[in-house]
Structure formats: structure tokens, C-alpha cells
Amino acid sequence: MQRAMFQRILGRHGYALTQRRGYNFGSNKYAAAFQTPRPPADVARLRAAAINYIEHFNKEEWFDSPVRTVVNGKHPEESQDAIDTVDAFGKVNGKQLLSSESVIDQVISHAKSFVPAKNDMRAEVRAIEAKFMSDHAGFLIGNQALDFGKQDGVTEIEESIEANVIEHRMNDDVLDDEAAGRLRINRSPAIVGCVSNFSNFLDLCRKTLRNLELGVPVVVLSRSNTTQHMFRWYNLLLEEVVGAGLEPGLLTYVSCSVEQQRRIMQALAPDSALYLTGSRDVARKIREIFPRSYASTGGPNTMVATEYTEPVMSATKMGTFIENSGQCTAMRHLVAPGVTKEDVEKTFRADLVSRIDGAVDSLRANGFDGVFAEWGSRMVPADGYTSHPDKAIPMAFRTSGDVPPFGVEEHWRRPYLDVTSVATPEELRSDEFLLKLSRWLVHEQPITVAVNADKNDFAVAKRIWENTTQVVFSVGDIKENPSLTVQARPQDGEVFGEFPPRRQLSQFTKAPVVVPSSTPGYNSSYSPAYLEQLAAWPASASAVVEQFISQVNSPVMKGYLRELANYLSEAADPVATPREGHPQGPRTTLFGLQRPPLEHGLTLLRADSSSTMDDLSGYVLPFLATNAHSQLVVSLTPGENTRELAEALQKGSEDRPIYMKLESDESFMASLSDGQVWNVLHLPEQSMLADEQDLPLVGQFISTLFPLGHIKSTQKGHREFTETFRASEKWLKFEE
């Protein structure tokens, strides 16, 4: 009878639960989700609808119907005087009513007290989503073009249509596991901090609809600029929600100041989750007061080319100018041999650059990298940068024989390019330079890196990839199909993420955000009862794992360790890893969990004098159970518990010893300057596993310890690429 009970809770395959892990990155079901049949996206129809919307747009509407707070479907009466709203280029484009403090009180009261009538609203929300992606698509693209100046909102909607169905499956698995008693979804209201350039996919679909469909209410915050287009989709969504028979209280919009936003965050902490796509500076300030913030942040996207050929020049121009430098993957840094000032000027010469008056110009021409003429005429280069000699070309650059200084500024919506022009191709290929460049990339953590060389010459790309941790890494050639920093189709397995630098990760976000994934899954946790039952299940991922688990005291933590190990045995399966992207995609893609940089990728766990085996076990096991075990150092602080902890760690790792050292705080701090260190974690101070009632899903937890993402070739069906990179030691592999 007891075994039958375990099978009912844990599944027919014991604690493996392979049929219940679709929401964890890299698992079997996660990989299978990319094969989900996709609804067709009629790109021509989307484009025509957007152009028609813009051509018939009434500019007075955004003045006559101002942005304002909406609570439970109603506009609170008391508001401050109206202020102007501005578009991405500082032009006044409407009105906004800022909330009074009493209105903020109403927002907080509603958010803390509202409980949805039901938790499963997938049918209603997905029907609404289908209308947004078809009947309302012109409205979405058009408003975004008018407010943000987005030139290619069509591709964003196409991506949404195809990626949404994948995230539907992941949400389905989360809800199924909650129904089975394995996990719990935290249904405290989710706060959405909108992004200006990708609001239709990231904010409307990923952050709002995915939460709503699993019964999580949403609070949408206004922006200091480009706030009009997301307020318009919010209003339409509220109308559709009510029309579908759902409660208006599910959706709140707050028109307020930054100070009032912080007040709302503090009131809804610590249970609510906040989802932000924005700058690292903003993410850091939010994280200081809001523990469950999940932030996606940018970085200086970099292209490396072994020769600066005409195709590479074209790729540089497109990557730098995409959306007038208004896309998170826009190129910011070029590395190539012998690039002169004249080469840069030639790359951006007038006959190659599309100058536009408005985003609709690019919509009509199927373009995406036009520069706004009026906005560009006001550009003043930052110190140290040189303007293009043609004043009609609004871009600035600087060249150097070395990598840029740390802390490269993005200069949002202003095309800037740093050029690292090494003297010769031989210098670029040298071990010394590639290691230096890799360390710079680890420190700055761009979203994307693109490497172009001779066809099937992967030496430079492989060396950089194995020593960096980009989520998006692209490989092309210098003559026919160069890779750009701006290429990523998450629906094809080209998984996407904007990760902060690893050593500062917890300053910006609780965990990295991966696309695609289940958004409500980030604020979900395992049922302690399920984990206790898992701990009692007489099964094992490996003898090494069981030996380690035997030294842990808490039944809940033992169960969590088994869940971790079982996830790794699947997501880091030595045979299945890396996973391959969708075969119908335009490129060749491999994705999966990865090891830290192979040549400078040590992780230091600093255990304070009170630490126990239970405190450290969740952080040690993922290294012990994989081919990354040699990249872990456990630093023990002298104290009363140190001997007991050291003995437990030693007994738990007898068959695969881990490196431990006893050292003072002074000695430990001195070791941080070692160029081999990639990540540092202080335990239990920085632990995500301190509360057994709130243990995160293992996919989210592992993403805080290891890199993940994809590497792709611009060539479809590229056998040589697949063979070369599949064999790399960079992929994380589970070891029996």
C-alpha cells in the first residue's frame, strides 16, 4: 500500500518524474515543447493591418483619453493634475493623470485583498490572446510604432504567435504538478515593469497573460516615457477580460511616480513577484527593496570577425542601427583586425543607411535598421567618441587596439560602436588575446556574442564560447553568411535571456529569466510533503548522489536534493545534451545547460562559521554530480561547527572528492582577486534554499549556478558545426 501511495504521488516511473518536468530548462519535455504545432503567422496581413492603423490614427485620442490608474475596472476619482507623456524621442504625445497617495492606497488595498474566483483561466485567456495576435495585431504594432518608434513590430508578433504555444505547454505542466500536490503557485499579485521596445511579447504575453491564465492577478506599472502603447493594450485587455466573463479585479494599472512605484513594491513584498526588462541600474534599485524581482538586463553586445570583409561590414551596420539602436541585442562592440577609422566611416556611409521620418516608413519598406532623421540631428557624441563625418549619419565610434574599459554605457537609442582593432589576424587568434577578450565578456556579460571566420573554421568561436557564458552565441562566416548579434528565435530552440554578470547576479535578480519558460513558475515552490515523500522513495540517480544525500538531516532537503539530481540526470544527460533546435528553423541550433568558463570558471562557496551540511548541500550537489565538480571550491570559516561540516562534506564525497579549504576572512578576500574566479556565493547569507517552505523549482535554482543558453550557426543543417560544438567539454554533463 505504501508503494502504491508513492507511485500515485511520484508517478509510475518513481521519483524520476520525467513526464512532469516540462517547465524546467533542458528537460525532455522542455525540449519536446519546441515541436509543438505552431499556428500560422500571416506576416503580410500583420504588416498591412499595422500600416492601416497608423494611417488612420487619431493623435488626439491619447490626449482626450489620458493614461490613468485603473482599479477593479474603475478609474478612482481622486488624481493629480495631468502631465504630458512623451515618446521614445522626447516628443509630447499625450496626457497622463498621476495618482494621488489616496489612490495608491486603493491600489495596495485591492492588490493585497483580491482573490480570483478560480485559478485555471487558460481557456479564456488563450482565446483572448488569439484575438490580440490576429484581430488586434495592427493595433498593437501600430501603437508601438507610434510611441516607441519600433520599425519591425511585425516580427515581434510573429515570434509571439509561435513562442506562446510553447509557453502554454510549460504553464500546463506547472498547473498539472500543482494539482498533483508536487508544487504550489504563489498567487500574490505579479507586478509588471514594462519594457518599451518589446512590450507586446514580453509584457503582454509572457508577464501578463501567462500569469493571468494560472490565476495570478497582475499589476501593470506606468513608465516615465513610451507609456502610451502599453496603457492602450492594458485597456483593451481589460475589455476582453470582462467580455470573457472574468473579473476586472484581475488587472490593475497604476499611473504613478517612481516613488509611488517603490511604495507599492514595498507594500506587496515579500510575497509578490516583479518582472522587469530594463537597465541594470533600475534592476539593482528594485532588488534592494523587493526580494522576488526577476530582472532581464542588457550588456554591450559584441561581434568578433577574423577579417573585416564587406559582408561583415554590412552585418555591423545592421546590428548597430537595428531599431535606431533600440533593441536589446543591438551591436555595441566590434572586434576585428586592422579596422581603421576610414573603415568604420565606410561601413556607415550615406548610401548604405536608411534615413526615416517615422517607423511607418520602415514598416512599408520591410525594414528594421533605419535611423530617425530628426532625432539623429540632435546627437552630441559622448566624451572619447568621434561623430561620423557625414552629419546626416547619427552615430559615434571610437577605436582602440585593446578591449574597451569596463562599464561600457549602452547609450539607448543612440548608435555607438566601440571597435577593438587588433593589429593582425594572428594577434586576434592568439591564446593571450582570446582569453583577455573572454574575461572582458564575462565581466560585462553582453546578451549576445557573434563570431565570424572562414567557413567551418571554428577555432576562434569555440575558444571564446568555452570561456564565456552568453545565453545567445552565434557563429557565421566572413564571406557568405555572417552572424549578427541581433539574431534569436526562441521558438526554434534559440533560447533567450538577458543575464547580469554572474558574480553580481543577486544584486539584480533573484534568478535569471529564460525565454521560453513558465512565468508563474518563477514564483512557485515545491510542496514540503512531496519532498519528504521523495526523500523516502527507495530510488537513486547515482551512488555518488546517494552517498552525499546520506549526510543531510532534513527530509525536505533530502527530497529537494533528489529532485535536483534527477533533473540534472535528464537536463544534463550525457547522451541527449546538448539538445537540438527545431529542424524547421532557419539555422542550426544547440542548446542546454553549460559549465562555467573552462579556463577561468571557479565557483567559491564561502561557508560562515554557523553553516551546516543542510545549508551547503543544495549548492554542492550540482557540482558533485556533474563534470563541473573540479570547478568548485568550498571555503570554510573557522568556527565551532567547521569540523563537523568538513567531516560531513568529506564523507558525502568520498567517491568524488570536492576541494575544501579552511581559511580566514582575510585569506578568502585575497583569493577573490584571482583571475580564475567566476562566481562567489556566501552561505547561508545568500542562499535561495534557506526556507524549506519556499524551495524554488530546480530549473530556476540551477540557473543561478550554471550558465545556459544556445549556440547556433547561420547555416541550416550545418553538420560540421554540430559535430564540433556537440563534442565540446563546455556542456554540463551528469556523471554516474
pLDDT of residue 77: 79
Whether the per-residue pLDDT at 12 is higher than 50: the answer is no
Contact 604, 676 (CB under 8 A): no
The three three-digit cell numbers of residue 35, written as one number? 515541436
Give me the pLDDT at residue 540, please: 67
CATH 3.40.605.10 fits 51-296, yes or no: yes
pLDDT mean over 496-522 = 97
Torsion, Cα 456 460 462 463, to 10 degrees, reads 160
Q: 516 preceded by cis ω (within 30°)?
A: yes
Quote the pLDDT of residue 674. Answer: 83
**Partner residues linked to 296 by β-bridges:** 277
Across residues 94-99, what is the average pLDDT? 96
Band (11; pLDDT cuts 50, 70, 90) = very low
What letter represents residue 465's amino acid?
A: W
pLDDT at 628: 98
Average pLDDT over residues 553-561: 97
Per the CB < 8 A criterion, the answer to whether 267 and 108 are in contact is yes
What is the residue-averaged pLDDT of the chain?
94
- When mean pLDDT is compared across 74-83, 306-315, 530-539, the lowest value belongs to 74-83
Tell me what the mean pLDDT of segment 722-734 comes to.
98
Dihedral, 107, 111, 114, 116 alpha carbons, nearest 10: 120
Antiparallel, parallel or unpaired: β 293-297 and 386-387: unpaired
Share of the chain above pLDDT 90, in %: 92
Is the pLDDT assigned to residue 224 strictly greater than 50? yes
**Ramachandran bin of 303, using left for φ above 0, alpha for ψ from -120 to 50, beta for the remaining angles:** beta
Please state the rounded mean pLDDT for residues 234-260.
98
pLDDT in tens, 676-704: 999 999 999 999 999 999 999 999 999 99
Residue 18 pLDDT exceeds 80? no
Overall average pLDDT of the 142-156 stretch: 97
Q: What is the pLDDT of residue 353?
A: 95
Q: What is the pLDDT of residue 605?
A: 98
Query: Which residues 6+ apart lie within 8 Å of 208 measured at CB?
Result: 192, 218, 220, 237, 251
Q: Residue 66's CB: how many other CB atoms inside 10 A?
A: 19
What is the structure's pLDDT at 456? 96
Asked if residue 64 lies in contact with residue 191, where contact means CB atoms within 8 angstroms, the answer is no
Average confidence (pLDDT) over 561-585: 95
Rounded distance, CA 458 to CA 721, Å? 8
Q: Determine the pLDDT at residue 634.
A: 98
Q: How far is CA 697 from the centre of its chain?
A: 16
Name the pairing type of β-strands 396-400 and 416-422: parallel
DSSP sequence for 556-608: HHHHHHHHHHHHHHHHT-TTTPSEE--TTSSSEEEEEEBPSPSSS-EEEEEE-
Cα separation, 624 vs 637, whole angstroms: 21
Distance from the first to the final alpha carbon of the chain:
31
Give yes or no for a contact between 315 and 303, defined as CB atoms under 8 angstroms apart: yes
What is the pLDDT at residue 673? 86
Residues with Cβ within 8 Å of 308's Cβ and at least 6 positions away in sequence, in order, are 336, 337, 338, 339, 343
Domain ranges of the chain: 2-33+527-571+596-705, 51-296, 301-492
CA–CA separation, 216 and 247 (whole Å): 12
pLDDT for 21: 72
| The pLDDT of residue 196 | 87
Superfamily of domain 301-492: Aldehyde Dehydrogenase; Chain A, domain 2 (3.40.309.10)
C-beta of residue 193 within 8 angstroms of C-beta of residue 538: no
Contact indicator for 130, 168 with CB cutoff of 8 Å: no
The radius of gyration of the chain from alpha carbons, rounded to an integer in Å, stands at 26
Rounded Cα gap, residues 484 and 475, in angstroms: 9
Q: SS3 for 177? A: helix
Q: Where are the alpha helices (DSSP H) in 39-100?
A: 43-55, 61-64
* Residues 702-721: b if buried by 16+ CB within 10 A, e if exposed: bbbbbbbbbbbbbbeebeeb
What are the residues whose beta carbons fall under 8 Å from the beta carbon of 38, sequence distance 6 or more? 161, 162, 165, 491
pLDDT for the residue numbered 675: 87
Residue 398, SS3 per DSSP = strand
Q: Identity (one letter) of the amino acid at 466?
A: E
Tell whether the model's pLDDT for residue 447 goes beyond 80. yes
pLDDT number for residue 3 = 35
Cα–Cα distances (Å) from 207 to 466, 513, 520, 525, 649, in that order, read 32, 11, 9, 18, 40
Helix (H, G, I), strand (E, B) or coil at 77: coil
What are the respective helix, strand and coil percentages of the chain, to the nearest 5?
40, 20, 40
**Complete DSSP assignment for 259-313:** HHHHHHHHHHTTTS-EEEEE-HHHHHHHHHH-TTEEEEE---EEEEESS--HHHH
**CB half-sphere exposure, 553, CA atoms < 13 A:** 8
Q: Is the pLDDT of residue 561 over 60?
A: yes
The structure's pTM equals 0.95
Q: What is the pLDDT of residues 648-679, one digit of tens each?
A: 999 999 999 999 999 999 999 999 988 899 99
- Grid look-up 519591425 returns 152
| Residue 541: predicted pLDDT | 72
**Four-CA torsion 260, 213, 65, 262, nearest 10 degrees:** 10
The two beta strands, 331-337 and 416-422, are: parallel
**Each residue of 576-631: pLDDT tens digit?**
999 999 988 999 999 999 999 999 999 999 999 999 999 999 999 999 999 999 99
Cell readout for 177 is: 504538478
Contacts of 495 (CB under 8 A, 6+ apart): 25, 471, 514, 515, 516, 591, 708, 709, 710
pLDDT of 383 strictly over 50: yes
Q: Looking at residues 634-653, what average pLDDT do you find? A: 95
Show the cell assigned to 406: 569596463
pLDDT at 9 over 90: no
Q: What is the pLDDT of residues 103-141, one digit of tens each?
A: 999 999 999 999 999 999 999 999 999 999 999 999 999
The average pLDDT across 178-196 equals 96
Residue 539 clears pLDDT 70, i.e. is over it: no
Helix and strand totals (H; E) in the chain = 28, 25
